[in-house]
Structure 1
Amino acid sequence: MAIVGYARTSTKDQVAGLEDQVDALRATGCKKIFQEHGSGIDAVRPELMKALDYVREGDVFTVTKPDRLARSVPDLLQIVGGLRERGVEVRILSMALDTSTPTGTLMLTVLGGVAAFERELMLERQRAGIARAKSENKYRGRAATARAKSAEVLCLHKEGRKPASIARDLNIGRASVYRILSAALP
């Protein structure tokens, strides 16, 4: 049996946060710790994928908090369910939660539901605030980033660059590049 840890921070600026997670994981007996910087909403978290591939039946996969592991409650339950099917138990240190027990599994599901409920309430309040700001003519929305780069898009396109390359270099969506090109070109 191996105790395997996973630590993640959202940005590279959060070095202390990552170190704190690693220290907590080591204190619980983790010998192998996978760590990375990256947003929880990113589709690809390479170190998480390596960690999930690394663990074997009988191992214990450990994280400090559930939001370090998953993007949402369904994501958390899917990851934990997949690990349990492979005979890997999950520990979440901040919740003193261990899925090797029926109580731990119940608590994970209940706490996950509460977290989802809190998120929905927050989004509801956010939508209400946006609606109020719009009615008072104070809501501007986010700044249009791609349109501000229209001249650069057109210049790079004239140089023969492909839309995917333009999007990557200017850090905008490929669809935005196509919209700019279709609006500007006959």
Structure 2
Amino acid sequence: MTIIGYARVSTTDQSLELQQTALRLAGCDLIRSEKRSGTTTVGRAELQTVLDFLREGDVLMVTRIDRLARSIGDLQDIARTIRAKGASLKATEQPIDTSTAAGKAFFDMLGVFAEFETNLRKERQLEGIADAKARGVYKGRKPSIDIVKVKALKAEGMGPSAIAKALGIGRASVYRALEGMADGAAGAAGELQG
């Protein structure tokens, strides 16, 4: 039986050291670590390596289940993979041991709460953005399309496809920019008539 530790943090400026120390103290024979978001399992090479390596009787050890995933769907997929290999999952900071019925139930409950926490964070972020927009503080990202250049090329007689090619942007972006110009011109004409 091999105890394989898996540690993860979301950003490059976060430290893996506390998790790695806890996993070593829990008796892990091998520890794999990565700095990737837990909102998806896509692109998490170290997690995939651990799951591929698991054999019957092995244990995948984490400090908390949110180190594995932040969505119940991903957690359940990981749990199915572990179970199919005849291995089990344990956590150092939570009473999770998927080799027992109580451990499986607790694992499922914590998965629901991890996803709930992620959803709450997204809601708070959207509320913060809406508040900042209302106060005029949040401007969003800078436009990637130079509308002045689009307007100048249009004035030179270029069509949308040629403008898109010249600026290295999509035709739909050109149409939106031109549409915005037309809306602005219509608004200005309306103001002059009013």
Q: Which amino acid aligns with 1:31?
A: D
Q: Deviations over 1:84-134 (max 9, x none)?
A: 122110012221311111111111111221232333333334333433444
Structure 1 residue 32 displacement after superposition: 1.4
SS of aligned partner of 1:94:
coil
CA pair 133-9 structure 1, distance change in 2 beyond 3 A: closer
Q: Give matches, 1:171-182, under 5 Å.
A: 178-179=169-170
2: distance between equivalents of 1:12 and 1:127? Answer: 24
Q: Counterpart in 1 of 2:65?
A: 66
Structure 2 CA distance for partners of 1:142 and 1:92, relative to 1, 3 Å: farther
Cα distance in 1 between the residues matched to 2:12 and 2:171: 32
- In structure 2, relative to structure 1, the CA distance for the partners of 1:96 and 1:180 (3 Å cut) is farther
Q: Structure 1 35/136 Cα, relative in aligned 2: closer, same or farther at 3 Å?
A: closer
In the alignment, which residue of structure 2 is the partner of 1:172?
A: none
Q: Is the 8 A contact 2:6 2:31 kept in 1?
A: yes
Shift of 1:22: 1.6
TM-score (normalizing by structure 2)? 0.66
1:28 alignment partner in structure 2: 26
Counterpart in 2 of 1:81?
80
Give the AA of the match of 2:7: A
CA contact (8 A) 1:36 1:47 kept: yes
Q: For 1:97, what is the secondary structure of its paired residue?
A: coil
Letter in 1 for 2:118: R
Query: Aligned-pair distance for 1:182?
Result: 7.3
Q: What are the Cα deviations for residues 51-84 of structure 1, in whole angstroms up to 9, with x where unaligned?
A: 1111101110011122221142221121112211
Equivalences, count: 154
Read off the aligned partner of 2:66 and give its amino acid letter: D
- 1:161 matched residue in structure 2: none
In the alignment, the residues of structure 2 paired with residue 121 and residue 181 of structure 1 have an alpha-carbon distance, to the nearest angstrom, of 34
Runs of at least 4 residues off by over 6 Å: none
Distance 2:117 2:33 in 1: 28
Q: In the alignment, is the contact (CA less than 8 A) between 2:71 and 2:112 conserved in 1?
A: no
- Indicate the SS of the match to 2:16: helix
* Distance of 2:59 and 2:145 partners within structure 1: 48
Give the superposed CA RMSD. Answer: 2.9
The separation in 2 between residues aligned to 1:126 and 1:9, in whole angstroms, is 20
After superposition, where does 1:25-64 map in structure 2 within 5 Å? 25-41=23-39, 43-64=42-63
Native 8 Å contact 1:5 1:63 kept in 2: yes
User: Is the Cα contact below 8 Å between 1:147 and 1:180 reproduced in 2?
Assistant: no
**Which segments of 5 or more consecutive residues in structure 1 lack a partner in the other structure?**
152-176
CA contact (8 A) 2:66 2:114 kept: no
Aligned partners of 2:133, 2:13: CA distance in 1, in Å? 34
Q: Which segments of 5 or more consecutive residues in structure 2 lack a partner in the other structure? A: 150-167, 175-194
- The percentage of aligned residue pairs carrying the same residue is 44
Partner of 2:16: 18
- 1:139 is paired with a residue whose SS is coil
Distance 1:71 1:118, change over 3 A: closer
